[in-house]
Amino acid sequence: MPLKKLVHFHYLQRRTMSFFTARNIVKNYANHRALDNVSIDIPEGAIYGLLGPNGAGKTSLIRIITQITGPDSGELFFKGRPLVPTDMNRIGYLPEERGLYKKMKVGEQAVYLARLKGMGKQDAIRQLKAWFEKFGIESWWERKVEELSKGMAQKVQFITTVLHEPEMLIFDEPFSGFDPINVELLKREILELRDKGTTIIFSTHNMASVEEICSHIALINRSHKIIEGPINQIRNKYANNTYQLVCRYQPDFHPQEAIGTEFEVLSEKIEDGQHEIVLQRLEECPTNTLLRRLLDWTDIISYRKIIPGMNDIFIKLVKEKQ
Amino acid sequence: MNKTCIIIGREFSTRVRKKSFLVVTLVVPILMALFYAFLMWILLKDDTQERKIAVVNHSAIEAPFHQINNTTFETIDTEVTEASAPEFLAAHDYYAVIRLSADVMGQPEVPVYSFSQVPMDLKNEIALQLQNKIESIKRDSVIAQTQIPDLEEKLAATHTPVHIRTLKVSEETGEAKESSSEIASILGLAAGMVIYFFIFMYASQVMKGVIEEKTNRIIEVLVSSVKPFQFLLGKIIGVAAVGLVQFLIWVAFGLLLIVGMQAAFLPELDMEALRSAGNMAGDLTAIAGTEQLNAEQLAVIRNIAMTIDPAFILKFLASFLFYFIGGYLLYASLFAAIGAAVDNETDSQQFLTPLSIVLVVGLYIGFTAMKSPESPLVFWSSLIPFTSPIVMLVRLPFGVPAWELITSMGLLVAFFIFFTWLSGRIYRVGILMYGKKVTWKELYKWLKY
């Protein structure tokens, strides 16, 4: 196993050094403060989801990480040392609002963008040919960008972003504008990059994809970071002692009577002969005790703790702050 | 630095490969030449209109007019006055009628009646012919009265055309050099106009490029690879290279044309000899190749030869190149800032107008500099960098003290650096700002980001 892969393999058990750190970042624009004392910590090999409503400051933060703009105050560290301009070559960035020169040929343009990232011309051409082959788009090389559809252009942009094998990749809403098939293709590529050891920052509104691929998240709202950490920890933290019980439907079964005073029924649903009940645990009580009480009344099909989705946590947190 | 070179390369190669570049480079000079040829042809074309003019002659002058191009004169016996002229012209096939009164020699006022306005050339020619007639009659009578033998020849011998040679004396070397102010000032103005044209053409190309990158949204990808200022610099230099190449192609064309024309029309003329002869005011006809020319042509050729003095041309070309590049850089950075501030080209007008006005004013001052190169207005505007690239070049052939030239160039460099820095700040903010109607106040705020 290559070293980088090994590192990734182990980080789930044991937290490794942080790959990128932003500390106490403040950024003011003329009329408002875009980032107020924001600190984030991105572990090596993570897929780090940067979440937040529109206008929260995500793009401002990304532009500071990519050194497009500078912070008013605060510090940035890349692999444990201060971030320097030449690190631009080791970071790949796919902005949300992305485009290409319309009149330029696809191949020529991709080579140009690769060279701006510090790649040699021949090297860029060779790597590009390989990627074009992988995506099955070799025939586009001599075509002008204006002849491509939006989705086609996005593929080219994705390739130019990852071509120089950056150690850190930043995707801002990468899936917008892609059809489901290409979204799958892209996800696969992103996961493959992670397996190769690339650290990835992933900014999005799409919570389903966050749960699917992110290992860590940070939520930014109104210029502040609200929460940060491994996604499973966060989800468990916001699990507020609700459980789902499914049993065979029996007309004379009254859940509230059976479960005792430690629990409260939040909702009930009867469907296809199954009784689905959502419980809230009010007081400490072992699961076994509850199940024992129920055994006399009904046939249990399943019982599980409800872990909230990122979507719920996101909405809850954003609302709380307002 | 390496990245800047890559950017320059792209800006250059994508532009020179465009069809429009080829068209402008090759077709524009041809069109310009055709346009001027057409203009000259129109101006010099003879009046071909056939006209018949009636002459009512009450004076003693015999046959006062002869044919002018296709206009003929016929003396008639009928009397025509101002009152009867319309009726007369309507009844006959005459274009106009001239009435010479009996006392036309004493009071030379001649009415010409016609339905339509008599063309200026025709009017002047009629006056000239009559004037010559009257003068020769009067002269004859004076000669007859005074009884001096050969008076006519003696009077003719008093005719002395004066030829002015303008000599520029150098303060430093004390040398006097013959110069032609006409050709020099035309050369200066032409150079000034070329600069004006290039600044507009190429600085707006920079602006268009910036707007394109902004509306394409490629700019955010680009500035995550290079610093915005570095990118801007690469773009400005790349476009400048395109302009220089285009200009050099034109210069090569021009030189070919000059050399070709000399070879075709004056194959044996020795320009160098002509120049030194001009300085010594020697006998021009002794120089090889001049025997094919008459005196007037020779004077023109000599004027040209004097202006195309290699030393002057070198200095002029060097200054031209300096102001060409300096002026372009100054304006290109400002145009780039405008491009970054707006979302599309239509919005750029409000910021572009003040700059255009300054440039046009520069061109007009350039025109006045041809007439009065020493005036305070011309002096100051040849120092202020916004107008100096045009005005200084017009002044240059008239002789500019070294300190003025150096001050003007130094100021241009200083302004260029300052405004590029300023534009860089606006550019940096503007390229990432979308959907905002930008005002001057807003731009000022951006400077402080």
pLDDT tens figures, A83-103: 998 888 899 999 887 889 988
Say if B224 is an interface residue toward chain A (CB within 8 Å): yes
pLDDT of residue B203: 92
Say if B436 is an interface residue toward chain A (CB within 8 Å): no
ipTM of the complex as predicted: 0.78
> Which tens digit of pLDDT belongs to each residue from B232-248?
999 999 999 999 898 88
Find, among B250, B201, B198, B237, the residue nearest to B333 by Cα: B237
> Which tens digit of pLDDT belongs to each residue from B400-441?
888 899 999 999 999 988 988 888 888 888 888 776 777 777
Q: Quick one: residue A67, left, alpha or beta (phi over 0 = left, psi -120 to 50 = alpha)?
A: left
Question: Is B434 in Cβ contact with A97 (below 8 Å)?
Answer: yes
Question: Is A116 in Cβ contact with B7 (below 8 Å)?
Answer: yes
Q: Which residues of A touch B442 (CB under 8 A)?
A: 30
Question: Is B227 in Cβ contact with A85 (below 8 Å)?
Answer: yes
> Which tens digit of pLDDT belongs to each residue from B278-295?
544 445 555 555 555 556
Find, among B402, B401, B396, B366, the residue nearest to B381 by Cα: B366
| CA–CA separation, B229 and B427 (whole Å) | 8
Option in A67, A88, A97 nearest B220 (CB): A97
Say if A148 is an interface residue toward chain B (CB within 8 Å): no
What is the average pLDDT across A161-181? 88
> Which tens digit of pLDDT belongs to each residue from B17-30?
988 888 888 887 78
Say if B413 is an interface residue toward chain A (CB within 8 Å): no
| CA–CA separation, A271 and A248 (whole Å) | 10
Find, among B325, B178, B175, B326, the residue nearest to B247 by Cα: B325
Burial string for A158-187 (b: 16+ CB within 10 Å, else e) reads bbbbbbbebbbbbbbbbbeebeeebbebbb
pLDDT > 80? residue B179: no
Between the two ends of chain A, the Cα-to-Cα distance in Å is 48
Question: Is A97 in Cβ contact with B217 (below 8 Å)?
Answer: yes
Say if B34 is an interface residue toward chain A (CB within 8 Å): no
Find where tokens 């020169």 sit: A101
| Cα A294 → chain centroid | 40
pLDDT > 50? residue B315: yes
Sign of CA dihedral B339, B340, B345, B349: negative
pLDDT > 70? residue B274: no
pLDDT of residue B35: 80
Is-contact B16 B242, C-beta < 8 A? Answer: yes
Say if B217 is an interface residue toward chain A (CB within 8 Å): yes
Is-contact A223 A36, C-beta < 8 A? Answer: yes
Pick from A134-148, A246-260, B290-304 the range whose average pLDDT is largest.
A134-148
Option in A66, A112, A115 nearest B224 (CB): A66
Find, among A320, A287, A308, the residue nearest to A239 by Cα: A308
| CA–CA separation, A69 and B99 (whole Å) | 87
Query: What token pair was written down for B429?
Result: 């903010």
Give chain B's mean pLDDT: 82
Q: How many residues does chain A have?
A: 322
| CA–CA separation, A38 and A36 (whole Å) | 6
User: Could you give phi then psi for residue A48, rounded to 5 degrees?
Assistant: -105, 110
pLDDT > 80? residue A153: yes
Question: DSSP class of residue A298?
Answer: -
Is-contact B284 B274, C-beta < 8 A? Answer: yes
What is the average pLDDT across A105-118? 92
Question: Is A88 in Cβ contact with B225 (below 8 Å)?
Answer: yes
Option in B6, B216, B221 nearest A115 (CB): B6
Option in B6, B215, B220 nearest A116 (CB): B6
Say if B235 is an interface residue toward chain A (CB within 8 Å): no
Say if B1 is an interface residue toward chain A (CB within 8 Å): no
Nearest CA in chain B to A60: B432
pLDDT > 70? residue A116: yes
> Which tens digit of pLDDT belongs to each residue from B368-384?
887 787 888 888 998 99
| CA–CA separation, B62 and B55 (whole Å) | 11
How many of the other CB atoms lie within 10 Å of CB of B82?
9
Is-contact A45 A11, C-beta < 8 A? Answer: yes
User: Could you give phi then psi for residue A191, rounded to 5 degrees?
Assistant: -65, -35
Sign of CA dihedral B329, B335, B341, B343: negative
Determine the distance in angstroms separating the CA of A69 from the nearest CA of chain B, rounded to an integer. Answer: 8
Question: Is A116 in Cβ contact with B225 (below 8 Å)?
Answer: yes
Nearest CA in chain B to A30: B445
Question: Is B220 in Cβ contact with A68 (below 8 Å)?
Answer: yes
pLDDT > 80? residue A319: yes
Q: Which residues of B touch A102 (CB under 8 A)?
A: 216
Nearest CA in chain A to B220: A95
- Pairing label, strands A263-271, A274-281: antiparallel
What is the average pLDDT across A46-68? 89
Q: Which residue has the higher pLDDT, B307 or B253?
A: B253
What is the average pLDDT across B129-147? 87
Residues B430, B433, B437: CA angle, nearest 5 degrees: 90
Instruction: Name residues whose C-beta falls within 8 Å of residue B298's C-beta, 6 or more positions apart in sequence.
Output: B284, B285, B290
pLDDT of residue B303: 63
3-state secondary structure of A81: strand
> Which tens digit of pLDDT belongs to each residue from B78-110?
888 888 888 888 888 888 999 888 888 888 888
Between the two ends of chain B, the Cα-to-Cα distance in Å is 25
3-state secondary structure of B115: coil
Give chain A's mean pLDDT: 86
Question: DSSP class of residue B68?
Answer: B
Q: Which residues of A touch B445 (CB under 8 A)?
A: 30
Option in B14, B222, B445 nearest A116 (CB): B222
Is-contact A170 A94, C-beta < 8 A? Answer: yes
Residue A244: beta bridge partners? A278, A304
Option in A91, A100, A116 nearest B3 (CB): A116
| CA–CA separation, B241 and B203 (whole Å) | 12
Sign of CA dihedral A208, A214, A216, A221: negative
pLDDT of residue B277: 55
Residues A222, A317, A168: CA angle, nearest 5 degrees: 65
How many A-B residue pairs are in contact by the CB < 8 A criterion? 67
Q: Say how many CA atoms lie within 13 Å of A47 toward its Cβ.
A: 21
pLDDT band with cut points at 50, 70 and 90 for residue B342: confident
Q: Which residues of A touch B220 (CB under 8 A)?
A: 68, 93, 95, 97-98
pLDDT of residue B29: 78
Q: Give me the DSSP letters along B353-404.
A: HHHHHHHHHHHHHHHHHHH-TTSHHHHHHTTSTTTHHHHHHHHGGG---HHH
pLDDT of residue A65: 92
Is-contact B335 B207, C-beta < 8 A? Answer: yes
Say if B225 is an interface residue toward chain A (CB within 8 Å): yes
pLDDT of residue A11: 46
pLDDT above 70 covers what percent of chain A?
Answer: 94
| CA–CA separation, B191 and B323 (whole Å) | 10
| CA–CA separation, B111 and A286 (whole Å) | 128
pLDDT band with cut points at 50, 70 and 90 for residue B147: confident
pLDDT > 50? residue A164: yes
| CA–CA separation, A217 and A215 (whole Å) | 7
Determine the distance in angstroms separating the CA of A86 from the nearest CA of chain B, rounded to an integer. Answer: 9
3-state secondary structure of B71: strand
pLDDT of residue A198: 93
Say if A98 is an interface residue toward chain B (CB within 8 Å): yes
Nearest CA in chain A to B9: A112
What is the average pLDDT across A149-165? 89
Find, among B12, B19, B14, B21, the residue nearest to B249 by Cα: B21
How many of the other CB atoms lie within 10 Å of CB of B233?
20
Q: Which residues of B touch A88 (CB under 8 A)?
A: 224-226
- For chain A, give the longest Cα–Cα distance: 77
pLDDT > 80? residue A121: yes
Q: Which residues of A touch B441 (CB under 8 A)?
A: none
Instruction: Name residues whose C-beta falls within 8 Å of residue B69's C-beta, 6 or more positions apart in sequence.
Output: B46, B47, B48, B49
pLDDT band with cut points at 50, 70 and 90 for residue B175: low
pLDDT of residue B171: 66
pLDDT of residue B299: 65
Find, among B381, B20, B394, the residue nearest to B193 by Cα: B394
| CA–CA separation, A261 and A283 (whole Å) | 8
> What ranges make up the beta strands (E) of A110-239?
168-172, 199-203, 216-221, 224-230
Say if A157 is an interface residue toward chain B (CB within 8 Å): yes
3-state secondary structure of B149: coil
Say if A104 is an interface residue toward chain B (CB within 8 Å): yes
Query: What token pair was written down for A100?
Result: 């290409």
Question: Is B217 in Cβ contact with A99 (below 8 Å)?
Answer: yes
Residue A43: beta bridge partners? A18
Question: DSSP class of residue A225?
Answer: E
| CA–CA separation, B432 and B194 (whole Å) | 35
Q: Give me the DSSP letters along B6-47.
A: HHHHHHHHHHHTSHHHHHHHHHHHHHHHHHHHHHHHHHHPPP
**Substitution target from A27, A101, A170 for chain B, most B beta carbons within 10 A:** A101
Question: Is A68 in Cβ contact with B225 (below 8 Å)?
Answer: no
pLDDT above 90 covers what percent of chain B?
Answer: 14
Considering the domain delimited by B51-138, tell me its CATH architecture.
3-Layer(aba) Sandwich (3.40)
Say if B5 is an interface residue toward chain A (CB within 8 Å): no
Residue extents of the structural domains in chain B: 51-138, 181-256+309-448
